[in-house]
Amino acid sequence: MVIGLILALIAGSLVSLQNIFNTKVNEKVGSWATTTLVLGMGFLASFIMSLIVEGNRIFTLRSMEPWYWISGLIGVGVVICLVQGTKRLGPTYAISIVLISQLGFALLWDSLGWLGLEKVPFTWKQLVGVLVIVGGILVFKLGGERETQKAA
C-alpha cells in the first residue's frame, strides 16, 4: 500500500511540474502545437523506457484489443475540454470542477469495477472521505482572494 501511495504522490508532483512547463510552452506556440509536442515527448520517453525494460519483445504485441489503439484519443479529448472549460469559466472555477469530477469518477470506477479492474466495494466511509476532499478543493480554490489570480 505504501508503494502505491508513494507512486501516486510522485505522479501528482510530476503532473504539477508538467502543467507549469506546458503553460510556458503554450504561451509561446499555441495550444495544439503544445499538445502535439507534449504527446510526442511522452511517446519518445515511454518508447525508450519500453526498449530498456523489455528489449525488442515490445514489437510483438500479442494481446492487443482493437480499442487499445484508440484509447490515446482520450488525452486529446482532455485537452479540448480543458481549453474550452477554462476559456468559459476561467482557470479557478474550471480546475475546481475538473478536480471534483476526477474524484467522483474515480469513486464510481472503483465501485463498479468497469474494464476488468479489481472492484473496490463502495462504502459510506469512502463517500465521506471524497466529500471532505471535495470540500478541501473548494476551500483551496475559492476561499479568499489570493494576491494574483492568473493561473490555477
Partner 1 sequence: MRGIIFAFLAGACITLQGVSNARISQDIGTWQAATITQLTGFIMSFLILLFVRDGKWGGLKQVKPLYLIGGAFAAVIIFSEVTAIQQIGVTFTISSLLIAQLCLTFLIDINGWFGMEKRKMRLPQFIGIGLMIVGVVILKF
Residues 1-30 that bind partner 1 (CB under 8 A): 1, 3-5, 7-22, 24-25, 28-30
Q: Which residue has the cell 473548494?
A: 138
Does 89 contact partner 1 by CB under 8 A? Answer: yes
The answer to whether 32 and 22 have CB atoms below 8 angstroms apart is no
Can you tell me which of 55, 56, 66, 143 binds partner 1, judged by CB under 8 A? 143
Beta carbons within 10 angstroms of residue 98's beta carbon: 19
Query: Site for partner 1 (CB under 8 A): which residue of 55, 56, 66, 148?
Result: 148
Q: Which of 55, 56, 66, 74 binds partner 1 (CB under 8 A)?
A: 74
Cβ density class 125-146: b for 16+ within 10 Å, e for less: eeeeeeeeeeeebeeebeeeee
Query: Could you say whether residue 125 binds partner 1 (CB under 8 A)?
Result: yes
- Please list, residue by residue across 34-47, b when 16 or more beta carbons sit within 10 angstroms of its beta carbon and e when fewer do: bbeebeeeeeeeee
**CB of 56 vs partner 1, minimal distance in Å:** 12
Q: Using the rule CB under 8 A, is 37 a contact of partner 1?
A: yes
Residue with grid cell 510556458, as numbered in its chain: 24
65: contact with partner 1 by CB under 8 A: yes
70 binds partner 1 (CB under 8 A): yes
Q: Is 92 in the site for partner 1 (CB under 8 A)?
A: no
